[in-house]
Amino acid sequence: MSSLSEDEFRDEVTEALSAFSSRRTASGSGWGEGDDRVSVVAERSEGEAEELAELRRYRSFLAERGLAWVDGPPEHGGRGLPASYVDLLRELEAEFDLPDDAYLRFSASTLCPTLLAHGTEAQQRELLPRLRSAELIACQLYSEPGAGSDLAGLSTRATRDGDGWRITGQKVWSSGAHYSDLGLCIARTDADKPKHAGLTTFLVDLGSPGIEVRPIRQLTGGASFDEVFLSDVYVPDDQRVGEVDGGWSVVVTSLLNERSAIGREVGVDAALVDRLVDLARHVRQPLDDRTRDQLADVVVRAWATRLTTARFLEGGGTPGPELALTKLLTTDLLRQMSDVAADVLEAAHVADNGTWGSYAWSELTLGLPGLRVGGGTDEILKNAVGERVLQLPKDAR
């Protein structure tokens, strides 16, 4: 563990970020200025390739300065600093004009800790630095048309073929598959074992023969999710993650980290809350007591969500099942913010009257169903909390 103080780290990061970009200014970020989009879901856009290229340049810049994995193990390019330093880095990044790192959410926040827990030394040595620097970008290949919340009921099959495996099946709701290099895929390797057994996870090269990626159009008009078809795709055995037929433990680890990332990174930042307060101030004049009460509740819940998540993550290590609460708190807060915006805007929430910052809130509203399903539906997560945290009797299977 480094003896680097937070003040020293702050100075180091500020100097590095100043060398890469300029600080954000009030111009372009105030009411009526700049882009008025209100979205917490990454969307496929015409400029996506340019955004990815700039993000890769930024992450490479951080890696060269030892800032691409602040709390990661030094042997894999990390700094070995406490998790609080990650929060400090994100706080400082918010002060600068930097590329959106949503493209890396699965690679950095989910796959890297999963490989630390279940990957081989060779996989860790080869992949972890490249994932953190965005040289490689990964996605998740879990859900299927007939196995979403009941993930263990999947039908994708992997069969032995010499020193490797042949995988055939269909995956769906794979965020970012169209720009990813790797996919963490779960497939059934033994059909005779119980549902949660007989599953194995693999790292699949998405450039392999037999893979087809198709975008899924969303309510928002974007296409950040994809269908992925695997037809007799060959995967070497050294790309298997975890034991044969032991893939469910890998899945559980990755889902816990995914829920942690959603709760920590999506939608509860102070800037979005401030944006909602600004909306009410400009649309509701004078601001009535009912709206004041709604906004105060949002502010309090946002702070409570951030502090609860930080408490769960304190001490590092693999998150526990209680991390399902952070995702539930986050999506519920976003639902509440959407409701407040709709109440304030009235008809302008669903019909664009050309006023800056008004109709833009509809994108958040339309994107919410996807967030409440991705990473585990609200109902499934409540079951997980009840059964695994509160030790309540299990739901009838």
Q: Supply the CATH number for residue 349's domain.
A: 1.20.140.10
Q: How far apart are CA 205 and CA 371, in angstroms?
A: 26
Residue 103 maps to which CATH number? 1.10.540.10
112 and 150 both lie in a single domain: no
Position 370 in a domain: yes
Position 261 in a domain: no
372 and 301 both lie in a single domain: yes
354 and 300 both lie in a single domain: yes
Instruction: Among 92, 113, 132, identify where a domain stops.
Output: 132
Domain extent for 321: 267-389
Position 394 in a domain: no
Annotated active-site residue in 54, 64, 126, 258: 258
Q: How far apart are CA 118 and CA 365, in angstroms?
A: 37
Provide the whole-model pTM.
0.81
Q: Tell me whether residue 6 is one of the annotated catalytic residues.
A: no
- Is-contact 261 239, C-beta < 8 A? no
Task: Give how many domains the chain has, as a whole number.
Answer: 3
- Reference 331, options 383, 296, 377, 291; nearest CA is 377
238 and 275 both lie in a single domain: no
Under 8 Å CB-to-CB from 344, ≥6 apart: which residues?
279, 280, 283, 284, 291
159 and 217 both lie in a single domain: yes
202 and 280 both lie in a single domain: no
149 and 43 both lie in a single domain: no
Instruction: Among 245, 278, 296, identify where a domain stops.
Output: 245
Position 330 in a domain: yes
pLDDT tens, residue order, the chain (397 aa): 457 899 999 999 999 999 999 987 644 456 777 778 786 665 555 678 898 999 999 999 999 999 999 999 999 989 999 888 988 998 899 889 898 888 898 999 899 999 999 999 999 999 999 999 999 999 999 999 887 767 888 999 999 999 999 999 999 989 899 999 999 999 999 999 988 899 999 999 999 999 999 988 877 667 778 999 999 999 999 999 999 999 999 998 888 777 666 655 554 677 788 889 999 998 888 889 999 999 999 999 998 988 887 787 676 656 677 777 888 888 899 999 999 999 999 999 989 888 888 888 998 898 888 778 776 788 888 888 898 889 999 877 6
85 and 13 both lie in a single domain: yes
Instruction: Among 132, 157, 178, identify where a domain stops.
Output: 132
- The partner residues of 166 in beta bridges, in order of sequence, read 159, 234
